[in-house]
Amino acid sequence: MTLPRKAVLGHSTISPLELSLRQTLRVDCGASIWECAEVSVGHKEVLVTQLRKMTLDEIARRNYTQSTTRIYLATIEDLARYFHRSPDQLGPEQIREYTAHLFRDKQLCENTVNQRVGALRFFYIKMLKRPWGDEMPYPKKKFHLPVIWSPEEVASLIEAAPIPFYRTILTTLYGTGVRRAECAALKLTNVDSARMVLHVQDGKGGKDRDIVLSPHLRDELRAHYRRLVRKPAVWLFPGGRWHTADYPISDKVVWHACRESAQRAGVHKPLHPHTLRHYAESRTMPNGVLKCPPGLWPELPIRHSLLPTDHA
């Protein structure tokens, strides 16, 4: 008999994060591994529901990002689906078989498999309180040098931008080396033209940092602000079809700016937003000498430059 949902989940309010994760952790029966209680009987209903809650609580206590949370839960889901069993019933032998499955059948790269193994290690050590041991090593990682574009290729990429909005995004990536999510989330208040510093807030790992900016980038951002049909109150790169929304662009817009410009530039090299980040880092040589095209390094900020009094 199917139990009422309230008998399993109670009357507590479910957070937006939990709602977004309700469909993760599925087993073969099609129900969530945490909601599998609804098609079971007896103590199993309480056990599985509690395991789900404990996992989410432990992740929340560690303040992991939503993307990390989804990856961890999706990994446990995939493990349960592969063996058609609840993950708390699986041991080291099954995890080793599952790891081989990720390489052999799914053909995932070493870094991705390492991430999956880390998720399982977290679940078994922190949640199930089981020993991990040396019999469960991480796969050996491979290190590859990044693809670096020449200064001429970067210049042709920026010039090939199909719209000025994309050109400004590319110039910002190149001039600062920010990640694509950091670029999308930039605010007007992150730019300090008095000190010529760009503030990156809540970057990777939740860390803040300051980046020195160039007058060239400052001028480009001033022109970008003037071109916007509706002057934003918060976001440097507002979202929406005509960039008039009260929310920022997604990091996919940054990705499309790179891909479309690369196709128009005709440079046959791999390119994604992180490529320009590698290029920005490569301009600082081991001896401390900066090597880059003039005008974009070091970089300079914008906050006061974007105020209406500075537009004249």
Residues of the chain with pLDDT > 70: what percent? 73
pLDDT score at 100 = 92
pLDDT grade for 188, boundaries at 50, 70 and 90: very high
Average pLDDT, stretch 210-224?
91
pLDDT grade for 135, boundaries at 50, 70 and 90: low
H helices of the chain, where?
Answer: 5-9, 16-20, 43-61, 66-83, 92-104, 110-122, 151-159, 164-176, 180-184, 215-227, 251-265, 273-282
The domain of 36 spans 5-127
Total number of domains in the chain:
2
Average pLDDT, stretch 130-148?
77
pLDDT score at 302 = 35
Residue 174 lies in a domain: yes
| Shared-domain flag, residues 157 and 253 | yes
Tokens 């999510």 correspond to: 181
Average pLDDT, stretch 242-268?
94
The residue among 1, 17, 25, 7 whose CA lies nearest residue 66 is: 17
Tens of pLDDT along 64-123? 888 888 999 899 989 988 999 888 889 888 999 999 999 999 999 888 999 999 999 999
| Shared-domain flag, residues 56 and 173 | no
**294 cis-preceded (ω within 30 degrees of 0):** no
Residue 136 lies in a domain: no
Give the full edge-to-edge strand order of the sheet including 209-212.
Answer: 191-192, 197-200, 209-212
| Shared-domain flag, residues 67 and 108 | yes
Tens of pLDDT along 7-38? 333 334 444 444 444 444 444 433 444 444 34
Assign residue 189 the CATH number of its domain. 1.10.443.10
- Sign of the Cα torsion 39, 44, 47, 51 reads negative
Assign residue 107 the CATH number of its domain. 1.10.150.130
| Shared-domain flag, residues 168 and 52 | no
Find the radius of gyration of the CA atoms of the chain. Answer: 24
| Shared-domain flag, residues 57 and 206 | no
pLDDT grade for 285, boundaries at 50, 70 and 90: very low
Residue 59 lies in a domain: yes
| Shared-domain flag, residues 265 and 121 | no
| Shared-domain flag, residues 89 and 168 | no
